[in-house]
Amino acid sequence: MNARLHRLWGMIRKESLQILRDPSSISIAFVMPVMLLLLFGYGVSLDAKNIPLGIVIEQPDTAAQSLAGAFDRSEFFRPQRFAAIQDAKRALTERRIDGILWLRNDFSNRLLSGGEAPVGVFVNGVDSNQANITRGYIQGAWLAWLQHFATSRGQALDLPVVLEQRVWFNPALSSHLFLVPGLIAIIMTMIGSLLTAMVVAREWERGTMETLMVTPLHMGEMLVGKLIPYFMLGMGGMLLSVAMALFLFDVPLLGPFWLLILCSALFMLVSLAIGLLISIVTRNQFLAGQVALVVSFLPSFLLSGFLFDIHSMPSWVQLITYLVPARYFVAILQTLFLAGPVWPVVLTNVAAMLLMLLILTALVVKKSYKRLD
Amino acid sequence: MNDERVLVFRNVRQIFTRGEQTLCALDDVSFDIVPGQVSGLIGPDGAGKTTLMRLACGLLRPESGTVHVLGLDAVAEPQAVQSAVGYMPQRFGLYEDLSVQENLDLFAELQGLPQKKRTVRYAELMHMTGLSPFTARLAGQLSGGMKQKLGLACALLRAPRLLLLDEPTVGVDPVSRRELWAIVYRQVQEQGMSVLLSTAYLDEAERCNEVLLFHQGKLLGQGPPNEFSANVQGRIFQVSAAGISHRQLQARLAQSPNVIDALVEGETVRLVLEQAGLPTAESLLPGLDNVTIRPAVARFEDAFVARLKTRYDGVASAGGLNFHIDVNDDTEVIQVHKLLRRFGDFVAVNDVSFNVHRGEIFGLLGANGAGKTTTFRMLCGLLPASGGKLSVAGLDLHAARAEARRHIGYMAQKFSLYGDLSVTQNLRFFAGAYDLRDSKQDERVEWAIETFELTDYRESNARDLPLGFKQRLSFAAALMHEPEILFLDEPTSGVDPLARREFWARTNALAEAGVTVLVTTHFMEEANYCDRLVIMAEGTVLAEGTPQEMKARARTTDNSDPTMEDAFIRLIEQHEQNKKKIDNRKAMV
């Protein structure tokens, strides 16, 4: 037992020294998280604010002016006036504006006579997501104004349904609140899978694995000895990201901190297992890097729900997302940060990750033997 | 049952499949190794040495047969075997980003060397390997020889009963090689350790207590090295003759009946005959006067060649080579004057000067890192010089690199042809690169395939060729445009002795045809093929002259017939002493 601990300690010390001497490990663990967080926290925004909107008023009477004024005051729009619809359409084609609000010369008449929708709306549908958001916002602003207009004239608005919106958990609808927690999953995938796959493959490539094998060191000790330092590194990256999320981006942490650490540790183990499996199968740094990128990093980015909503994906893509461990972790992270400990969400996702860990560990153990063939 | 024997192989077969090709790495190999001696696995590349080593460590599972190591079954209990033996793989297996001390610490922990014993053992090993002053240095910054010694030290930390060393001396300079051998023998004598060591250098066979000779996966014989050479004793002779160049002499002797092998050795030619008995001058070289024939002491390499060589009657003369060089005079076609190359603070080539005459074979001899390849690259115009003058074929390389390159054929150290192209496609590509078109191109490609005996492989992809044929193809590609100057960078590294002989026969024929050949090598004995050579170390030229002059410098009363390696080591020693003297003088001032 004592000899075993000595061997384990030898491996851990060696691995830690190598991490400290290799600038690329340090930068992946600490510099990259900072850069990604700054980029996603400040640079990328999925919110619709300041949408450039063209407004065409053919008959500038009171009602039309009042409606245009409502759009002018809205923080979601940056309206521009066009004299004729043709000019506005050209601007839309040239992507100078994202939508057009067209008030025809019979606008006031039809509005007052209680006829059907008297406004024309055009939206640039090239970016369908943006188009939907724009259309929704125009509709919202129109309904709000209509209600206000009706009340001011002492009339009840004759609408079948009145929309009353409540946005939960992220009332300001700011995307960095859910992007930043999700990023923690991406960063931990980088350290756990990409970095680990490459450093273990390096041992094969440089021939040091052969020397390690012909010692009393057991395969299990070697794996654990490798895992511990990279586990610490990954958790370090995680803590750094959490600190930045809380103090730089003012993301609230509504769930308990210990639960966050526990779930992160579980996800870290899953990532490490994937990294180990890749390196054992490829035994080549370049290949390991490529494979890790394709099977681990990119799916975490695209299919985890961190950036793109899973429910709006085609159903067969949704099925694939169940294979992406980051999917479960992103769900936990967004819940813990923004909604607090919603136990059914946390527990089901933890169970999924545990299952993945079990399967991956079994594969790693099966694939790693002290032989070169 | 295996009380005595440290290693027992019984009917071991090992097959590797790569794609559709199957390779029999070991074919029905059986042998026993007894303890307390150095056993050498001798054989060229591809003989199966590394496979055998890995089987003995339990790193591979044999296709069939059994392997017992120190009484343990290596197939059933690989971990027990791996815990018991010391092993040094062929590639440097230590961590280059850890220091010497950190590497030692790691392996001490892994091998379970108790903390109390470490200080003493470290000191012992560092003293023995001469690494004491470098314990804080990163392993990646050690020289090739020092790296190997560190690898050995790590394998010896716990003094294993069986030490397995896979080509520990490859690419290592002769001085470090000698030191490595001394360390190995000390372990055997002081600790009673058993050592199994593989090498591709045939001259190292004579340093082993026992030799296992392998070729293409088969064990050809096992026994003390002198037993092998005893088989050919009486069949080895040295021949010299006046009025004929040693290369022509060698070419004629190679064609003589009864001759298995004729090898240039300085001004004489070494013969291995089919039958014992002093041959007459008349039978060997009819029509020549002043022929001297002296019996010589058989070496292991003679036995190896006698055993494996089928008579080679290929291209051995300039006539058969069909190679045309227009100019033929005795000018100095390569002039190098005070050449200098720096990489940052590091001076890779320092004040190197030499001249090469037309039709000469000129050698650059030195260990890895001596500055040979850097010098070469500057001569070929691949790397600018930091100082000094160069001229190749009368052209200044700085001014007219493209023009100078037309006169040059270059064969790089690594196989640098296109693996996915066939032999013919590769040759066509290189012919095209030198502006040979249409019928001229066809003609040269046919010439290359015929001269280098590549007919059987003409449509094979270059990647799938056996090593010796790859080397032939590289050689042929360098000759497509009939260059008058040929640069060969470590052409024979990793090639077996038979392919090496063939290579040198062709090179000799080229030189006879008037081609100037500049060649680098770290095989000391290959210097004998050169007309003149320089010996390099640490970027400087230590000596220049003919092989005879070099060897004469090392002649002492103890050693009346020194080898090129003796000469090299002596030069290095003098170089070290001079450095010390200069240092001392500096210190006194």
Residue of B nearest to A225 (CA): B110
> Using the beta-carbon criterion (under 8 Å), do A370 and B78 form an inter-chain contact?
yes
The tens digit of pLDDT for each residue in A312-356 reads 889 999 999 999 999 999 999 989 998 888 899 999 999 999 999
CB distance from B102 to chain A under 8 Å?
yes
**Which residues of chain A lie closer than 8 angstroms to B69, CB-CB?**
none
Under an 8 A CB cutoff, do A372 and B96 touch?
no
Q: Give chain A positions within 8 Å (CB) of B102.
A: 14, 17
Cβ of residue B480 closer than 8 Å to a chain A Cβ: no
Residue to test with chain A: of B26, B57, B103, B109, most A Cβ within 10 A: B109
B79 CA to chain A: closest CA distance, Å? Answer: 7
| pLDDT tens for each residue of B356-389 | 998 899 999 887 778 888 898 888 878 888 989 8
The mean predicted confidence, pLDDT, of chain A is 86
User: In this complex, do A22 and B102 lie within 8 Å of one another by their Cβ atoms?
Assistant: no
Q: Is the dihedral of CA A55, A61, A64, A69 positive or negative?
A: positive
B73 and chain A in contact, CB less than 8 A: no
Give mean pLDDT, residues B333-357.
90
Residue B315, pLDDT score: 45
Cβ within 8 Å, pair B110-A372: no
Average confidence (pLDDT) over A47-62: 83
Phi then psi dihedrals of residue B137, to 5 deg: -80, 145
Angstroms from B146 CA to nearest CA on chain A = 17
What is the C-alpha separation between A250 and A245, in angstroms, rounded?
A: 6
Q: What pLDDT is stored for residue B40 in this prediction?
A: 95
Of B174 and B443, which is predicted with more confidence? Answer: B443
Instruction: Decide: helix, strand or coil at residue B165.
Output: strand
| pLDDT band (50, 70, 90) for residue B2 | very low
> Residue B154 has which token pair?
């790590």
pLDDT of residue A108: 81
Rounded to a whole number, what is the distance in Å from the CA of B16 to chain A's nearest CA?
9
pTM here is: 0.81
Q: Has residue B318 got a pLDDT over 50?
A: no
Residue B61 vs residues A220, B13, B74, B85, B194: alpha-carbon distances, Å: 20, 10, 8, 17, 23
Compare B555 and A263 and report the one with higher pLDDT.
A263
Task: List the single residue in B85, B94, B97 with the smallest CB-CB distance to A211.
Answer: B94
Q: Which residues contact B476 (CB under 8 A, 6 or more apart)?
A: B427, B448, B449, B451, B452, B454
User: CB-CB: which of B61, B112, B164 is closest to A371?
Assistant: B61
Chain B interface mutation, best of A13, A19, A215, A219, highest count of B Cβ atoms under 10 Å:
A215
Residues of A in contact with B59 (CB under 8 A): 210, 213-214, 370-372
- Adjacency order of strands within the sheet including B64-69: B21-33, B7-18, B64-69, B72-73
In this predicted structure, what is the pLDDT of residue B216?
Answer: 83
B63 touches chain A (CB under 8 A): no
What is the CATH code for A51-152? 3.40.1710.10
List the single residue in A with minimal CA-CA distance to B78: A370
Both structure tokens of B551? 């060897």
Chain A nearest-CA distance from B200, in A, is 20
pLDDT at B256 over 80: yes
Contact B61 A13 (CB under 8 A): no
CB B197 within 8 A of CB B239: no
- Residue B1 confidence (pLDDT): 43
CB-based contact B54 A206, cutoff 8 Å:
no
DSSP H/E element including A199: helix A196-206
Give the Cα separation of B21 and B4 in Å (integer): 39
Cβ of A18 within 8 Å of Cβ of B97? The answer is yes
Given a cut of 70, is residue B405 above it in pLDDT? yes
Chain A nearest-CA distance from B216, in A, is 20
Measured in angstroms, the CA of B324 and the nearest CA of chain A are apart by 46
Query: What pLDDT is recorded for position A41?
Result: 78
Encode pLDDT of B418-449 as tens digits: 888 999 999 999 999 888 888 999 999 999 99
pLDDT on residue B437 = 87
| Portion of chain B with pLDDT greater than 70, in percent | 95
Residue B82 at interface with chain A, using a CB cutoff of 8 Å = yes
Average pLDDT for B295-324: 71
B7-223 and B231-313: identical CATH topology: no
pLDDT of residue A70: 86
Query: How far, CA to CA in Å, does A194 sit from each of A265, B101, B492?
Result: 17, 30, 40
Beta-carbon count within 10 A of B492 CB:
21
Tell me the β-bridge partners of B402: none
- Six-digit token string for B392: 């190749």
The SS3 call for residue A361 is helix
Residues of A in contact with B58 (CB under 8 A): 370-371
Percentages helix, strand, coil for chain A (3-state, rounded to 5) are: 70, 5, 25
Does residue B83 sit at the A interface (CB-CB below 8 Å)?
yes
**Confidence at residue B317, expressed as pLDDT on a 0 to 100 scale:** 45
pLDDT confidence of residue B589: 65
CA dihedral sign, ordered B498, B503, B507, B513? positive
CATH 3.30.70 fits B231-313, yes or no: yes
Hey, are the CB atoms on B93 and A210 less than 8 Å from each other?
yes
Bigger pLDDT: B8 or B348?
B8
What percentage of residues in chain B have a pLDDT greater than 90?
40
Tell whether B92 lies on the interface with A, counting CB pairs under 8 A: yes
Residue of B nearest to A214 (CA): B82
User: Smallest Cβ distance to B95: which of A3, A9, A18?
Assistant: A18
pLDDT in tens, B496-509: 777 888 888 889 88
Query: Which of B78, B98, B107 is facing A215, going by the closest CB pair?
Result: B107
Cβ burial of A240 (10 Å; 0-12, 13-18, 19+) is middle
Gap between the Cα atoms of A290 and A268, Å rounded = 20
Alpha helix stretches (DSSP H) within B68-143: 78-84, 100-110, 115-129
Checking if the pLDDT of B69 tops 90, the result is yes
**What architecture is the B359-371+404-573 domain classified under in CATH?**
3-Layer(aba) Sandwich (3.40)
Between residues A125 and A17, the one the model is more confident about: A17
Chain B CB contacts of A18 under 8 Å are 95, 97-98
Give all strands (DSSP E) within A58-125, no chain letters: 77-82, 99-103, 119-123
Q: Is the pLDDT of residue B319 over 50?
A: no
Residues on A contacting B at a C-beta cutoff of 8 Å: 3, 6-7, 9-11, 13-14, 17-18, 21-22, 206-208, 210-218, 370-373
B110 touches chain A (CB under 8 A): yes
**Cβ separation B91–A206 shorter than 8 A:** yes
Minimum Cα–Cα distance from B92: chain A residue: A207
Chain A nearest C-alpha distance from B109 (Å): 5
Mean pLDDT of A220-238: 91
Q: How many CA atoms lie within 13 A of A201 on its CB side?
A: 23
Contact B61 A210 (CB under 8 A): no
pLDDT of res. A319: 93
Q: What's the CATH number of domain B7-223, 2.40.30.10, 3.40.50.300, 3.40.190.10, 3.10.20.600?
A: 3.40.50.300
Q: What are the domain boundaries of chain B? A: 7-223, 231-313, 359-371+404-573
Cβ–Cβ pairs < 8 A, chains A and B: 94
Handedness of CA B264, B267, B269, B270 (dihedral sign): negative
Q: What is the mean pLDDT of residues A276-302?
A: 91
* Chain A residue numbers touching B96 (CB-CB < 8 A): 206
ipTM here = 0.78
Question: How many residues are there in chain B?
Answer: 589
Nearest CA-CA distance, residue A216 and chain B, Å: 4
pLDDT of residue A355: 97
Q: What is the pLDDT of residues B523-577, one digit of tens each?
A: 888 888 898 999 988 889 999 998 888 888 888 888 877 888 888 888 888 888 8
Give Cβ neighbours of residue A12 (< 8 Å, ≥ 6 apart).
A225, A228, A229
pLDDT of residue A287: 92
B80 contacts chain A (CB < 8 A): no
**Residue B85 contacts A where some CB pair is shorter than 8 Å:** yes
Question: Is pLDDT above 80 for B258?
Answer: yes
Both tokens of residue B330? Answer: 């005795």
Per residue in A157-196, pLDDT tens?
Answer: 565 455 555 666 666 556 777 788 888 898 899 888 988 8
